[in-house]
């Protein structure tokens, strides 16, 4: 059964990793999907994958750090499908490193893409979401609850998204829009694979041993697959997840240690 049939979903950061997996999964559930990211070639590949599985999708290349990007994405969705029922704010990678080495530009870039990009696009989509009694999901991260020394930018940005979720959820009660946030821990993406390769090189160990060291250091059970995050998003958006509202949902192998 296609639980999202007839709905239009906008997914940011949809060219790779978690965003791509979410876009493909929502399309499998019957949604018409608008994919956006900066890499047009990768977007085209994702759209072709959806079409090849019988789904419907369009793409728009956009940099959410640019103030006019949100309006362009909103217009693309409306011109293609006439509505916005689902918004997945997934875009945004932040720079890791020692606090003392992070520049003002590193901090500004982190907030510009992941936080302000989400704020602007949510504001642009809100009238449509209100009309359709739609849903917003922010993809933040476990660092928003349990930040580390190497993740001061990302932890701060994610924490801001958690607060934004709670605030927006109250507005959603009034306007009939479901609002939630997913906090992934380490997920099997190209970026994580690079970190694991670095551990292997620095310690002179095999890839398997590097993974074991990473799991022990992070104190987690396993690394999640992007498809697991996508499945959780689809559950939230489907009939069984409608009671979730203002929820900050950890899917992180146990990395979140706070209550």
Mean pLDDT of 220-237: 97
Per residue in 9-63, pLDDT (tens digit) is 999 999 999 999 999 999 999 999 999 999 999 999 999 999 999 999 999 999 9
Model confidence band, residue 248 (pLDDT cutoffs 50, 70, 90): very high
Per residue in 105-135, pLDDT (tens digit) is 999 999 999 999 999 999 999 999 999 999 9
* Closest to 35 in 3D by CA, of 19, 49, 54, 51: 19
Model confidence band, residue 205 (pLDDT cutoffs 50, 70, 90): very high
Quote the pLDDT of residue 15. Answer: 96
Model confidence band, residue 141 (pLDDT cutoffs 50, 70, 90): very high
Cα–Cα distance between 144 and 158 in angstroms, integer?
Answer: 4
* Closest to 25 in 3D by CA, of 58, 2, 48, 59: 2
pLDDT for residue 1 is more than 70:
no
- If one looks up domain 8-187+225-251 in CATH, what number appears? 3.40.50.720
Q: Residues of the chain with pLDDT > 90: what percent?
A: 92
Q: At what angle do helices 117-132 and 152-175 cross, to 10 degrees?
A: 20
How do the domains of the chain map onto residue ranges?
8-187+225-251, 189-223
Pairing verdict, β 86-89 and 135-139: parallel
Quote the pLDDT of residue 3. Answer: 86
* Dihedral class, residue 11 (left if φ above 0, else alpha if ψ from -120 to 50, else beta): beta
Cα–Cα distance between 111 and 163 in angstroms, integer?
Answer: 14
Cα distances (Å, whole numbers) of residue 15 to 152, 244, 256: 26, 27, 27
* Closest to 14 in 3D by CA, of 252, 229, 241, 239: 229
pLDDT for residue 259 is more than 90:
no
Contacts 24+ apart (CB under 8 A), 36-43: 36/10, 36/11, 36/12, 36/60, 36/61, 36/62, 36/64, 36/73, 36/76, 36/91, 37/12, 37/13, 37/61, 37/62, 37/91, 38/62, 38/63, 39/15, 42/15, 42/16, 43/14, 43/15
CB 219 within 8 A of CB 249: no
Rounded mean pLDDT of the chain? 96
């Amino acid at each position: 059964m296609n639980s999202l049939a007839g709905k239009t979903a906008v997914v940011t950061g949809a060219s790779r990793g978690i965003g791509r997996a979410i876009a493909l999964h929502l399309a499998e559930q019957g949604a018409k999907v608008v994919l956006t990211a900066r890499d047009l070639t990768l977007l085209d590949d994702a759209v072709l994958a959806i079409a090849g599985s019988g789904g419907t999708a369009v793409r728009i290349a956009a940099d959410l750090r640019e103030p006019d990007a949100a309006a362009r994405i909103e217009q693309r969705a409306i011109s293609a499908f006439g509505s916005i029922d689902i918004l997945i704010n997934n875009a945004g990678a932040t720079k890791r490193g020692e606090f003392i080495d992070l520049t003002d530009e590193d901090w500004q870039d982190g907030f510009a893409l992941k936080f302000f990009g989400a704020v602007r696009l949510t504001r642009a989509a809100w009238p449509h979401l209100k009309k359709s009694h739609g849903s917003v999901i922010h993809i933040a991260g476990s660092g928003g609850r349990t930040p580390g020394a190497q993740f001061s930018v990302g932890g701060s940005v994610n924490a801001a998204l958690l607060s934004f979720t709670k605030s927006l959820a109250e507005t959603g009660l009034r306007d009939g829009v479901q609002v939630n946030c997913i906090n992934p821990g380490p997920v099997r993406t190209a970026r994580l694979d690079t970190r694991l390769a670095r551990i292997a090189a620095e310690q002179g160990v095999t890839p398997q041993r590097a993974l074991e060291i990473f799991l022990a250091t992070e104190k987690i059970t396993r690394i999640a697959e992007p498809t697991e995050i996508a499945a959780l998003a689809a559950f939230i958006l489907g009939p069984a997840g409608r009671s979730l509202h203002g929820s900050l949902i950890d899917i992180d192998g146990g990395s979140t240690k706070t209550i």
